[in-house]
Structure 1
Amino acid sequence: MVAKQDDKAMIRTARIEDAETVLDIQREVIKEKDYFIAVSEEFNKTVEEHQEWIKKIIEHERETMFVAEMNGKVVGWIVFLSQDRKRMEHTGSIAIMLQKDYRNKGIGKLLISEILSWASQHPVIEKVSLGTFSTNSRAIELYNKLGFVEEGRKIKEFKFSDDEYVDDVLMYKLVK
């Protein structure tokens, strides 16, 4: 995919060479404890594993990954992953991560818009799904603005402490 330049960021297709930076961003987000299911002590991916993960995405006909660059530095990424099941090949889910200093600057919107554009042009993809913590109100607001609709919740899906639970908000957007 051709890179798209915005006055805020450049969005381009991820490359295997992005693996270390993508992994670093994921580790940073996990350390924040607010937006990701895994906790730091259970996330032990290596750069080599991330290179292999990105390679598989690049080679998969119904998956893709984009990164956002600012001043030549990767500051965020989004991935679309699909199921290898005939009855689910028309759908897939997204995950997005941005470095903390680059949030609330429109970069997430650019990344999601790029994925939605890719999905709408894909000959098979019809539905883009995601899940997010019910406490992630800024993300939910953005997803709603971009046309995502809540289709359900998994109540008390995530447990943060003995008495603190968070729902998993399931959202989708039809692109065809």
Structure 2
Amino acid sequence: MTAGKEKIIIRTGTLEDAQPSFVLQRAVVSEMDYLVTVPQELSADPDRHIQWIQKIMNHDRETFIVAEVNGELAGWIIFQSPDRKRLAHTGSLGMMVDPAHRGKGIGRLLINDLLKWAESNDEIMKVSLSVFSDNHRAISLYKSAGFKEEGRKVNEIQRNENEYIDDVLLYKMVW
């Protein structure tokens, strides 16, 4: 796919993508806008991130998908599924898009590819995620991809000393 003069490729991630995804994660977390994790909580050890990506890649019910723009990592999405038998049909996604590449449809492409993967996986029936209640762009994107709200954790996230927001729980059945 192309967006303007830029070539966007969505593909299954490899171990070679682990280091650039670590760098991207640090950049997105440093924005401190819509993630629970704050920069001080991130590991400074890229090897731990690489091990995490490798674990996902080696799991039948998990996946790591990346977006490249002109040959550089511009975003990624992961899906993780619990090891518990009664929850093995479920899992949750996490996604990060490079601030320099937002607004190009990369998030939508990553979600669509993840949903295709989940639909083709005989074990996965439900894809879930959580999103800050004031992240209206993300909520709109997820709902346009067919996700529905299943609940909220009221005042779950403390933005600063006197500001709390809800954590919105979304899901999509893929069976």
Name the structure 1 match of 2:153: 154
Matched residue of 2:75: which SS?
A: strand
- TM-score, normalised with respect to structure 1: 0.95
- Residue 117 in 1 paired to residue 112 in 2? no
- Uncovered stretches (5+) of structure 1, i.e. residues with no partner: 1-5
The equivalences for 1:81-96 within 5 A come to 81-96=80-95
- Uncovered stretches (5+) of structure 2, i.e. residues with no partner: none
- Compute the displacement of 1:50 (Å): 1.2
Q: Please provide the CA RMSD for this pair.
A: 0.8
- Compute the displacement of 1:20 (Å): 1.4
Task: Give deviations 1:132-173, integer Å, cap 9, x for gaps.
Answer: 001110000000100000000001111122211111000000
Runs of 4+ that moved beyond 3 A = none
Matched residue of 2:36: which SS?
A: coil
Given that 1:17 and 1:51 are in contact with CA atoms closer than 8 Å, whether structure 2 keeps it comes out as no
Matched letter for residue 7 of structure 1: T
Distance of 2:115 and 2:41 partners within structure 1: 31
Matched residue of 2:2: which SS?
A: coil
- Compute the displacement of 1:12 (Å): 0.8
- TM-score, normalised with respect to structure 2: 0.95
Distance of 2:136 and 2:101 partners within structure 1: 17
Q: Structure 1 residues 165 and 113, CA, compared in 2 at 3 Å: closer, same or farther?
A: same
Name the structure 2 match of 1:32: 31
- Compute the displacement of 1:108 (Å): 0.3
Distance of 1:39 and 1:124 partners within structure 2: 33
Distance of 1:23 and 1:45 partners within structure 2: 10
Matched letter for residue 114 of structure 1: D
Given that 1:33 and 1:39 are in contact with CA atoms closer than 8 Å, whether structure 2 keeps it comes out as yes
Name the structure 2 match of 1:167: 166
- Compute the displacement of 1:45 (Å): 4.1
The 10-residue stretch of structure 1 (44-53 or 85-94) with the greater mean CA deviation from structure 2? 44-53
Identity between Structure 1 and Structure 2 (%)? 49
Given that 1:29 and 1:35 are in contact with CA atoms closer than 8 Å, whether structure 2 keeps it comes out as no
- Compute the displacement of 1:47 (Å): 1.5
| Count of aligned pairs | 171
